[in-house]
Amino acid sequence: MLSRNTVDDAETVAEAIKQSLDHLRPWMPWAIEENATVEHQAARLAGVAAGWEAGTEFVYLARLQGDPVLVGMIGMHRRIGPGGIEIGYWAHARYAGRGYMSAAARAVVDAAAALPEVSRVEIHTDEANVRSAAIPRKLGFRLDRVDRVTPDAPACTGRMQIWVKP
């Protein structure tokens, strides 16, 4: 189940990040203890709310029906230029590899296609993050290119796969 996140979700998000730090840290530069606090998440979620209003980012909480624990988060971000929207996601360590984020990504891809001025959807994954790259493959994205970037997390190679779904 996907729902729009709000500042009221700060405690839930902080707890999920805290429980998943070891799982997220290799791939996510923001996966540090300071970001797993309610205060930090409240401030970040306030910024996300502003992004909703501006039409620049749309972030959702993913949960199982009737379960208050977060399965993960997924968002659409207008940060890749005209006509494009990027999907980013992370999974709670307890739920990783079980297909939940693939299902969430499928729903978000459909939502992205309905947004005005979106002609392509992209997912960016580090070449070494095989689990993350499985999602765009499963959803029929094609690998468009591999860009060189500065690695920003411990396990990142600096080879960013750009998956595209026109």
Domains of the chain: 2-165 (3.40.630.30)
* pTM, entire model: 0.94
The β-bridge partners of 72 are 62, 91
pLDDT, one tens digit per residue, over 100-128 is 999 999 999 999 988 889 999 999 999 99
Query: Between β-strands 57-63 and 70-77, what pairing exists: parallel, antiparallel or unpaired?
Result: antiparallel
pLDDT, one tens digit per residue, over 41-67 is 999 999 999 999 999 999 999 999 888
Q: How many helices (H) and strands (E) does the chain have?
A: 4, 7
Q: Which helix (H) or strand (E) holds 52?
A: helix 38-54
